[in-house]
Structure 1
Amino acid sequence: MSEFNKDDYLNDLPDPDQAAEGAASAAPQDSAKAETASQASSDEGAGAAKSATEGETPANAGAEQPSDSSSDSAPSDSEDTLTPLGKAKKEAADYLEALQRERAEFINYRNRTQKEQERFRQHGIIDVLTALLPALDDIDRIREHSEMDDSFKAVATKIDKAFEKFGVEKFGEKGENFDPTKHDAILHKPDANAEKETVDTVVEAGYRIGDRVIRAARVVVASPQDR
């Protein structure tokens, strides 16, 4: 939906100044009409005077003359110069502007709600993962130190894939560079062959969701010897 611009929408409404110019151009015609009416009134007055002289009573002798109330009327606002169509368009523009404000507020509310739902979902995954960490560590130890039969290996694989489906990533490998932001060094041991700190042994694997580390990998670090 394109952005609504109330000013552009109302550009085609009659300009109060143009309406005033139109009224000014009509003034000569009104003046001519008034002059004609004045002449007719003068003729009627002359006829009434003649009738009074002859003893006749004019037909409008007792009628009240209408008072001129035009001088008491207040000047009209610019909206009074709008045509009915212009007033309807202005009212429609006001309603559309208010509707777009409400729509923007609803979109912001919907985005906040979606972010909150995603955060609650991630918290639930973290709670389940944290509760299962001891079992996952036992599975890793069995993989490393003993042979796993096919059935147990199939179950362990299903567990890994289930966590991958929810965005859980397992990390921590022997030989990778030591990174204190994702590795928890439980021991540093000198190594004559090490040129920089590297992971020598993974005691417990690390887990993260996106950029958030749920648990750092607990490792033994091989450090260069001082020479």
Structure 2
Amino acid sequence: MSDFNKDEYLNDLPDMDDLSGQAAPAAASAADGASAASAAGATQEGAAQPAAAQSQENGDSAAADGADKADAADGKADDTLTPLGQAKKEAAEYLEALQRERAEFINFRNRAQKEQERFRQHGIIDVLTALLPALDDIDRIREHSEMDDSFKAVANKIDKAFEKFGVEKFGEKGEDFDPTKHDAILHKPDPNAEKETVDTVVEAGYRIGDRVIRAARVVVASPQN
């Protein structure tokens, strides 16, 4: 075994200054790489935010431009019309407005006519109701006594006047009993009756159209069973 020579061993080792010089550039290179990566990330992030804002602004601008273009298209369409075409367009607009006004007027006229007819019927009903006692007296005189020609003429004129206003008298002996238009003041058994019929009319009934003003007051003949 050869003898260990300390001096030769130490002379073969690399110089520490050289090692320090080599390590420092490597560390600096690594630090520079990290700084560059961080700067690149910050640059990308900073660029992404304006890009998103710019995209939103572009969308808003596109919508506004679309509305402006639509208005411009309408204006341009009007501008491209010939004088005759423009006159036809205005005439069509006036005709549409006139038709709407005419429809509204027709509806108003129909409502006014219905209201007028309703008020007219109310007036007739009020007069008829006030004259019912006199009309009943005239009917009793007709049934139970002879009427002279002058009184008969007056009674006929009254009947025709009410007929002119649509008033109809009803209630006749022998007709079927109808509780919707007859007011039975008495039911009497009748061996010859097969169903309920009017035996005697005490007071005539009056109606206007389908509206009963007063039901006829009658005596009803009913079957015995």
Q: How far apart are 1:143 and its partner, in Å?
A: 1.1
- Consecutive unaligned residues of structure 1, counting only runs of 5 or more, are 1-73
Q: How far apart are 1:84 and its partner, in Å?
A: 2.2
Which residues in structure 2 correspond to 1:57-206 (within 5 Å)? 76=73, 77-206=76-205
Supply the AA of the counterpart residue of 2:124: I
Q: How far apart are 1:175 and its partner, in Å?
A: 0.3
Give secondary structure in 2 for the equivalent of 1:201.
strand
1:64 matched residue in structure 2: none
* Root-mean-square deviation over aligned CA pairs: 1.3
Supply the AA of the counterpart residue of 1:168: V
Q: How far apart are 1:204 and its partner, in Å?
A: 0.2
My pick for the range that moved more, 74-83 or 94-103, is 74-83
After superposition, what is the alpha-carbon deviation per residue over 1:170-206, rounded to whole angstroms, capped at 9, x for unaligned?
Answer: 1100000001111111111111110000000000000
The CA distance in 2 between the partners of 1:166 and 1:158, in whole Å, is 13
After superposition, what is the alpha-carbon deviation per residue over 1:141-174, rounded to whole angstroms, capped at 9, x for unaligned?
Answer: 1111122222211211111111111111111000
Higher relative contact order (CA 8 A, sep 6+): 1
The CA distance in 2 between the partners of 1:116 and 1:133, in whole Å, is 26
1:214 matched residue in structure 2: 213
The CA distance in 1 between the partners of 2:91 and 2:127, in whole Å, is 54
**Equivalent pairs, count:** 153
TM-score computed with the length of structure 1 as normaliser: 0.65
The CA distance in 1 between the partners of 2:129 and 2:94, in whole Å, is 53
Q: How far apart are 1:80 and its partner, in Å?
A: 2.7
The runs of 4+ residues in structure 1 deviating greater than 2 Å are: 74-81
Q: How far apart are 1:213 and its partner, in Å?
A: 0.8
After superposition, what is the alpha-carbon deviation per residue over 1:101-125, rounded to whole angstroms, capped at 9, x for unaligned?
Answer: 0011101111111111111111111
TM-score computed with the length of structure 2 as normaliser: 0.65
Q: How far apart are 1:82 and its partner, in Å?
A: 1.8
